[in-house]
Amino acid sequence: MRNWDPLYSLTSYRRVKRTGLLRASPPFVLAAGFLCLILLGTLLLSLPAASQHPISLFEAFFMATSAVTVTGLTVIDPATMLSQFGQIVLITLVQLGGLGFVTFAVIAAITLGNKMSLQHQALALEAFNQTSVSKIRRTAFLVFKTSIAIEAVAAVILTLWWWRDLPFFTALYRAVFHAIAAFNNSGFSLFPSSLALFVDDAVTVLMISSLIILGGIGFPVLGDIANKRRWLTLLPYTKVIVLGTLILNLVGFVSIWLLEAGNPATLGALSAPGQALAAWMQSVTARTAGFTTIDITQLRDTSTLLIIMLMFIGGGSLSTASGIKIGTFIVLLAAVYSYIFHKKEVVLLKRSISPDTVQKSLALVLVTSAMAFGGVLLMTIFEDAPFINILFEVVSALSTTGLSRDLTHHLSQPSQALLIVLMFVGRLGPLTLVYSLATRKRSKIRYPETEFQVG
């Protein structure tokens, strides 16, 4: 870090005053943008018109952060505490946070016909995880058009299905809300106990889970599938993410069903089809979505640990999901396999993975694990709660999942403030790490190797 230098500070101040530009790294600008969006959301949610009953400024700040980071953890019930205006503000923050304010900024700039500066190009490249400026526009429009199309189709289907039991405009309003929340992998719901009313409703469960998968698999994967439409011609990355998503969902589905089928407090009281739907929903939603159709406070510890693992892994890169990401997890599995079987290269689908990618994946996992450990350590100091619930809460916030074992609103304000930090860092922290790794300076000095014992 640069030591404070009065001359440097004065020069920077004069440059900002003269040009109106503040030199900052793309992750810093992105973090500042998200923070501004959170503050704006806090202001709107704290207005008297946004709530049925007065809520504190801290509660508004917590809800705004949870929405912008597409987490879904709540300290108030949005269905009963927020007015319709407040609910619209909340879901708008989810949409903006899920797709990223950079997407809208780039689209707005393109629509107005403005050329992007080098600084703006660097920001967009970082947000979209791209290496070519020529792909920025295409990726921005892909994100926007794909999201709106998928959410619109899902909203229509849910409206027609829920119209059987609700007035049309109520069904439409709730369908749009849940379509946006599910696609953006946020667990906010306008129904009591999340989606418990639809535990054995095949249409609702399959539609919501499909939205979660589509939003969490990543826009590059969706774009590649839409353009090529044949398995053999898909990029290796696309194949790996699709297979990884399928395997993780199926493993979670089968494991939860087997572990909870005899538990009368979760799946035991349901019919066989109901058990299948509930197990499937819980497996999919654990991948950073946050919806539930069963009481997860009654899950066995084994099932809880499995869900914690799924939350930690998360979804695909450049998606509305968080976590360490499926690609990171699979690269590390491949690296371990290569080491155990004495392979010279890390290989996936007959393609070698660069050492830089393996190092980046390892760094991301270690940093995220350290954040989780630190969060659990602090919360055990602040709270007298079961350890499994604290671990679940911290990983849920850090992976921006939004699941909770009925702990969030019972926490002290220091613990809730910790969750705010974890949600924010969980959404932007990996991005900052990737940027720092991508821009590190390579030293021209080489040192002699030495033997060092590990393991």
For the residues of 79-145, what is the DSSP string, one character each? HHHB-HHHHHHHHHHHHHHHH-HHHHHHHHHHHTTPPPPHHHHHHHHHHHT-S-GGGHHHHHHHHHH
The count of structural domains within the chain is 1
- Asked if the structure places residue 2 within a domain, the reply is no
pLDDT band at 453, cuts 50/70/90?
low
- Asked if the structure places residue 455 within a domain, the reply is no
Model confidence pLDDT, tens digit, residues 371-401: 999 999 999 999 999 999 999 999 999 999 9
pLDDT for the residue numbered 20: 47
- Asked if the structure places residue 444 within a domain, the reply is no
- Please tell me what DSSP assigns to residue 353: E
Worst-scoring range by mean pLDDT, 9-23, 92-106, 155-169, 211-225? Answer: 9-23
Could you give phi then psi for residue 25, rounded to 5 degrees?
-70, 155
**Average of per-residue pLDDT across 322-343:** 91
The helix (H) or strand (E) run that includes residue 369 is helix 355-382
- Whole-model pTM? 0.86
In 3-state terms, what secondary structure has residue 206?
helix
Worst-scoring range by mean pLDDT, 2-6, 293-297, 321-325, 336-340? Answer: 2-6
- Asked if the structure places residue 443 within a domain, the reply is no
Model confidence pLDDT, tens digit, residues 139-158: 677 778 888 999 999 999 99
Model confidence pLDDT, tens digit, residues 64-115: 999 999 999 999 999 999 999 999 999 999 999 888 765 665 655 555 555 6
pLDDT for the residue numbered 21: 46
- Asked if the structure places residue 1 within a domain, the reply is no
**Average of per-residue pLDDT across 249-270:** 95
pLDDT for the residue numbered 330: 94
Identity of the amino acid at 110: I
- Asked if the structure places residue 242 within a domain, the reply is yes
Cβ distance 199 to 277 under 8 Å?
yes
Proportion of the chain above pLDDT 90, given as a percent: 58
CB pairs under 8 A, 24+ apart, for 265-269?
Answer: 265/295, 265/298, 266/294, 266/295, 266/298, 266/299, 266/303, 267/294
What is the pairing mode between strands 346-348 and 351-353?
antiparallel
Structural domain boundaries enclosing 78:
9-438
292 Cβ neighbours under 8 A, 6+ residues apart: 187, 193, 194, 195, 196, 281, 282, 285, 403
pLDDT for the residue numbered 443: 63
Could you give phi then psi for residue 45, rounded to 5 degrees?
-70, -20
- Please tell me what DSSP assigns to residue 317: S
Q: Considering the chain, what is the average pLDDT of its residues?
A: 85
**Average of per-residue pLDDT across 160-186:** 95
- Please tell me what DSSP assigns to residue 51: B
Residues 306 and 297: their CA atoms lie apart, in Å, by 14
pLDDT for the residue numbered 292: 93
**Structure token digits, residue 150:** 């998928």
pLDDT for the residue numbered 130: 58
Beta bridge partners of residue 82, listed in sequence order: 51
Proportion of the chain above pLDDT 70, given as a percent: 80
Q: Which of 425, 429, 423, 432 is nearest to 61 (CA)?
A: 423
Residues 371 and 141: their CA atoms lie apart, in Å, by 34
**Average of per-residue pLDDT across 49-58:** 92
**Average of per-residue pLDDT across 266-290:** 93
- Please tell me what DSSP assigns to residue 25: -
